[in-house]
Amino acid sequence: SDIYRAGISGTRPRVPVDADALEAAARKALSAEAFAYIAGGAGAERTVAANRAAFARWQVWPRPLRDVSSRDLSIDFLGVRRPTPLVLAPLGVIEMAHADADLAVARAAASLGVPYTLSNQASVPMEEVRDAAPAGSRMFQLYWSSSDELNASLLRRAEASGCEAVVVTLDTHLLGWRTRDLDLAYLPFTRAMGIAQYSSDPVFQQLVRERVRASAASAAEAVDAAPPVRLTPKAVAAGVRIARKGAALTGSPSVRENLRSPLPRAAVETFLDVFSTPALTWDDLAKARQWTSLPLILKGIVHPDDAIRALDAGADGIWISNHGGRQIDQSVPTLDVLPTIAERIAGRVPIVFDSGVRQGSDAVIALALGATAVALGRPYAYGLGVAGEAGVAEVVRNVLAELDITLGLAGLTSIAELDRHALREA
């Protein structure tokens, strides 16, 4: 009702309320490369579309006359009562959207009591993110690197910096075929953006030193700031443009530094060495238990058999996701498998759900089909691009407001009451 009152009193929203209009506003605000990186999906982007289309197969039953004057959006998640059922998904390299990057997102999330999942590819070291919003709830998302020492070090830092859980992303052992980025000859990693967790890590720094030594390079090469891979002039120009934007804003010093000067070539090569892990198997996951005592959530589960496998592997939660359609074109849409997976998990561990959630009623549908919590991806990146921290907060508040209204119009007063009975299959 605050949002309605503000609207009626003439306070214009800072970001468009409608999801498509929000995306259009972000397209305008961002460079072509930044927008392509965020909005894009794999191949012909049929999974991106299918994720959305899956929601249209469900309808919410209106149920009046049930006294819904007081409504409770809270959930239990990882042993803690949370004020809302939303989570922010990990988004790497969001310095592409705004120089305040993860600092802005963490502050906005903390102000709303929404857990923030800090990406392995976040633009700011996790300790700085903690300092920016010390009271906020954070999880750390790990991309399992081929260096066990590096994985262990990152998880130690996650634990020491107050993260509540580790989210291991399983669907990116190879990077997807991202057509828009390929067309623009642009991937942020090639400018060494989004590797702040690594460059601030003592184990990674040691790996870089070893690499320099092994290649018998001179000390001078270690500070060689040449672009790490061959970039087209257009891509370099794009990077510089983004850098200028970043420098003008009040971003984290490390983001600005990163935007100004790409990392030494040896660091980028080390990153490329350790990042891709196509050899990873279920057996490897057990090692994570030695590295941390934090709860482990496995992200990127789409097949019901893998959900059970995750349980068998001792996961404390699963995160159903197809990476927002960025990995496989014509992948299985996540909402279509949610009911089966929820049935097989049968409440034994929490289920986070993402891919295609754009508005409050989408969240209602996912929660009714068995999700414990619902994660937002691109919408908050668009809010960040359009209006920084305030934009992120406004996007999340809008989703929450529609969720709350839809719940009440469905005749329910709490998330706990939300189940299949609230829905009709279209």
Catalytic residue among 98, 173, 303, 323: 323
Q: Is 383 in the site for ligand FNR (CB under 6 A)?
A: no
Whichever of 101 and 203 has its CB closer to ligand FNR, that residue is 101
Q: Does 47 bind ligand FNR (CB under 6 A)?
A: no
N residues, the chain: 426
Q: How far is the CB of 94 from ligand FNR (least distance, A)?
A: 7
**CA separation for the pair 174, 149 (Å, rounded):** 21
Residue 323 annotated in active site: yes
Site string for ligand FNR, 80-119 (x = CB under 6 A): ---------xxxx--------------------------x
Residue ranges in 298-327 that form contacts with ligand FNR under rule CB under 6 A:
299, 321, 323-324, 326
**DSSP secondary structure code for residue 77 in this structure:** E
Establish if 410 lies at the interface with ligand FNR (CB under 6 A): no
Taking CB atoms within 8 Å and a gap of at least 24, the contacts of 179-185 are 179/40, 179/42, 179/43, 179/44, 179/45, 180/36, 180/37, 180/39, 180/40, 181/33, 181/36, 181/37, 181/40, 183/36, 184/32, 184/33, 184/36, 184/234, 184/235, 184/238, 185/231, 185/232, 185/234, 185/235
Report in angstroms how near the CB of residue 201 gets to ligand FNR at its nearest. 16
Judged by CB under 6 A, how many residues of this single chain contact ligand FNR?
A: 25
Is 4 annotated in a binding site? The answer is: no
For residue 318, what is the enclosing H or E element? strand 317-320
Token couple for 112: 């709303």
Q: Which residue is nearest to ligand FNR (CB)?
A: 377
Q: Is residue 326 part of an annotated ligand binding site?
A: yes
Give me the phi and psi of 296, to 5 degrees please.
-110, 130
Q: How far is the CB of 279 from ligand FNR (least distance, A)?
A: 19
Which of 184, 263, 357, 392 is the binder for ligand FNR (CB under 6 A)?
Answer: 357
Whole-number minimum distance, CB 318 to ligand FNR, in Å?
Answer: 13
Q: 260-276: string of b/e by CB count within 10 Å (b at 16+)?
A: eebbbbbbbbbbeebbe
The one-character DSSP state at 146 is S
Q: Which part of the chain contacts ligand FNR (CB under 6 A), choosing from 149-157, 203-211, 355-363, 414-422?
A: 355-363
| Cα–Cα–Cα angle for 143, 284, 42, rounded to 5 degrees | 40
Catalytic residues: 323
- Binding residues for ligand FNR, rule: CB under 6 A, are 37-38, 51, 89-92, 119-121, 141, 169, 299, 321, 323-324, 326, 354-357, 376-378, 381
